[in-house]
Structure 1
Amino acid sequence: MSTTYDTIIIGAGAAGLSAGIYAGRYGMKTLILSHELGGETAQAGVIENWPGDKEIEGFKLIFRFRDHALASGAEIINSPAVSAIREGELFHVTDKAGAVHIGKTVVLAQGSRRRRLGLPNEETLTGRGVHYCVTCDGPVYGGKTIAMVGGGDASVKGILLAAQYASKILFIVRGNELRAEPVNVEHMRALGDKVEVLFDTEVKEIIGTNALEKLVISKPYHDSTDLVVDGLFVEIGAEPETDIAKELGVILDEYGYVKTDCMMYTNVPGVSAAGDLVNHFGHFKQVITASATGTAAATAVFGYLKNARNEK
């Protein structure tokens, strides 16, 4: 007979694992589904603003979250949810392996997907010179020249990590200023000539057949719009993963994020949401805000079940 969980948490980043910790502590039978552990936190490189740790690598922090969630009684299955439907008072969540998991409540915490430039050849060359994760792919570019597209905190932190490997980094910024935290910009400036910022510049073309050969940019660099680099990293933000939310009938806000109240309840009874899926802090996406909303989302579904029991 299939197990019925008190809650199924979709996503195992900072939000999902924090929800798992609290759900377990509330005595809820808890399942966490995710295709990978850690989400954005695991790819963040060094984190310098997690309270109690002046400096900690993202993947190490997320392993602590995982261990805490498991110790609290949560079960983790490394298979992403691909669909979720409500049947009566229960939710049926199907994972990528085809298994159907049944839960009384759902916490949505899938996070976000990296934005693409939307250029021809981009998808073809992804993994062959075009990348979206410095933590994953930066070590390949030891002693080489790379380009980073961005301007916000994620791109600057990516540069700080990439600088451990690459010999030269060309930072392509569409605007005329950086939007990153001043302390991170200061760390980047300290790298000196290793990093060169190209303001008011965009990538217009990605050239290559079997691998990246060069970029075509909108503004000449050394009298040419051809920019020969070994690798391109794109850090231009992310979009919330809302496919399952939509399937469940969850309302999104005007920006495409899951709409919740201050306690992380959605409009669908028994469904809460957390992390980068919600927009409570605007563009301020941090490990600590993801963790906070995850704990609130777990508390929300715990309260839902408690009220449901009291009504019977």
Structure 2
Amino acid sequence: MEIYDTTIIGFGPAGFTAALYAGRFEMKTMVIGLEFGGYTAKAGIIHNYPGVKKADGYELAKTMKEQAEEAGAKFYDGEVVEIEKKDNNFILKTKDSKTFYSKTVILATGSERRKMGLPREKELENKGIHYCVTCDGPVYVGKDIAVVGGGNAGVSAVLLASEYARKIYLLAAGEALTAEPLNVDRVKGMKEKVEILYKTQVKEFLGKERLTGLLLSREFNGSDELKIDGLFVEIGSLPANKLAKDLGIELNDRGYVKSDTSMKTNISGAFVAGDLCDVFGSFKQNITAAASGALAANSSYYYLRDLNK
């Protein structure tokens, strides 16, 4: 039975960085995940990662993975669906019936896109309703779209979509945009292409076979119906915490994993990294994900060293 020193769950910057550091600590390391690069790979051009003036998100994630591989980490494409701790080891089972054994685990499962929760949302998904501009934005070249969300996710989506769409309606629930000021200024400067609708919410999706418009909570240009070709929902995310729950790891009131600043959880041998942890609050960035991944690997290493004394 092969037992790894640490198994990292998650293919984003937190997981890749944890794997890099675990490898450099000469730990026997396995990384399991499905969605390559997480949000980073879908972010388009990244301007705020130290040491890299301008980087394509996918290429940045690819480089992170390559560095971890060069450090000795192994990778497995799969979804962990079961996890338990037994006799001081962790047992992980994937959807394709593969079983892994590990002395420690680092949960870097990130978060999942928040849905609007309106009727027919699931029915119209990929039929006019989308959750990733990088993935689906090119479909709307020369067309009119709406983006829901006045925070960092929504404003970043508008900047990406501006490369494709003819007209963009940014729907913000509040009286102001809450994204990074630099990006807010960029969006506000696109007056010919971008129309910002403050204090506006979607009440209903219009269209039968696919989305053709939105019923708004207030009138715009004399009507509460907004005709569009596509909608991108960018209203934040929810923690992917199922495996943490299965292990009995303590969560905060928003569902994120509680940990100390060294990424330790209440379960010995289990560590957390990236968007799943509560250490950085709502400030979810590539740099914080990478930093927490490095910390988690460091804590895992010293945990095993102390265990073997």
Q: TM-score, normalised by structure 1?
A: 0.97
Q: How does 1:218-257 map to 2 (within 5 A)?
A: 218-257=217-256
**Mapped partners of 1:255, 1:124: distance in 2:** 27
* Structure 2 unmatched runs, 5+: none
Asked whether the equivalents of residues 81 and 96 of structure 1 are also in contact (C-alpha less than 8 Å), the reply is yes
SS in 2 for 1:177: coil
Select between 279-288 and 193-202 the one with higher mean Cα deviation: 279-288
Asked whether the equivalents of residues 263 and 292 of structure 2 are also in contact (C-alpha less than 8 Å), the reply is yes
AA aligned to 1:116 is K
Asked whether the equivalents of residues 260 and 279 of structure 2 are also in contact (C-alpha less than 8 Å), the reply is no
Match in the other structure for 2:165: 166
Match in the other structure for 2:62: 63
AA aligned to 1:80 is E
AA aligned to 1:60 is E
Asked whether the equivalents of residues 22 and 29 of structure 2 are also in contact (C-alpha less than 8 Å), the reply is yes
- CA drift of 1:210 comes to 2.1
Select between 269-278 and 81-90 the one with higher mean Cα deviation: 81-90
- CA drift of 1:193 comes to 1.5
- CA drift of 1:53 comes to 1.1
Match in the other structure for 2:135: 136
- CA drift of 1:214 comes to 1.3
Match in the other structure for 1:305: 304
**CA offset digits 1:32-83 (Å, max 9, x no partner):** 1111111011111111111111111111110110100111111111112111
- CA drift of 1:260 comes to 0.3
Match in the other structure for 1:205: 204
SS in 1 for 2:308: helix
- CA drift of 1:100 comes to 0.9
Match in the other structure for 2:27: 28
AA aligned to 1:82 is V
**Mapped partners of 1:186, 1:41: distance in 2:** 23
AA aligned to 2:150 is G
**Mapped partners of 2:114, 2:204: distance in 1:** 16
**Mapped partners of 2:197, 2:305: distance in 1:** 56
Select between 243-252 and 44-53 the one with higher mean Cα deviation: 44-53
**Mapped partners of 1:46, 1:83: distance in 2:** 35
29 and 235 in structure 1: CA distance in 2 versus 1, 3 angstrom threshold: same
**Mapped partners of 2:125, 2:14: distance in 1:** 28
Match in the other structure for 2:79: 80
**Mapped partners of 1:208, 1:87: distance in 2:** 52
**Mapped partners of 2:144, 2:53: distance in 1:** 31
Asked whether the equivalents of residues 42 and 57 of structure 2 are also in contact (C-alpha less than 8 Å), the reply is yes
Asked whether the equivalents of residues 41 and 62 of structure 1 are also in contact (C-alpha less than 8 Å), the reply is yes
**Mapped partners of 1:214, 1:139: distance in 2:** 19
Match in the other structure for 2:101: 102
**CA offset digits 1:109-159 (Å, max 9, x no partner):** 000001010000001111111011101110110000000000111111111
Match in the other structure for 1:118: 117
Kindly report structure 1 stretches of 4+ aligned residues shifted beyond 4 Å: none
**Mapped partners of 1:143, 1:187: distance in 2:** 20
Asked whether the equivalents of residues 29 and 74 of structure 1 are also in contact (C-alpha less than 8 Å), the reply is yes
Match in the other structure for 1:3: 2
* Structure 1 unmatched runs, 5+: none
Task: Tell me if 1:196 matches 2:195.
Answer: yes
Select between 193-202 and 79-88 the one with higher mean Cα deviation: 79-88
SS in 2 for 1:218: strand
**What is the aligned-residue identity percentage?**
46
Aligned length: 309
Asked whether the equivalents of residues 108 and 274 of structure 1 are also in contact (C-alpha less than 8 Å), the reply is yes
RMSD across aligned positions (CA) = 0.9
Asked whether the equivalents of residues 125 and 208 of structure 1 are also in contact (C-alpha less than 8 Å), the reply is no
AA aligned to 1:28 is M
SS in 2 for 1:212: coil
**Mapped partners of 2:94, 2:260: distance in 1:** 28
**CA offset digits 1:226-262 (Å, max 9, x no partner):** 1111100001010111000000010001221100011
Q: TM-score, normalised by structure 2?
A: 0.98
SS in 2 for 1:227: strand
**Mapped partners of 2:184, 2:92: distance in 1:** 43
AA aligned to 1:151 is G
- CA drift of 1:189 comes to 2.2
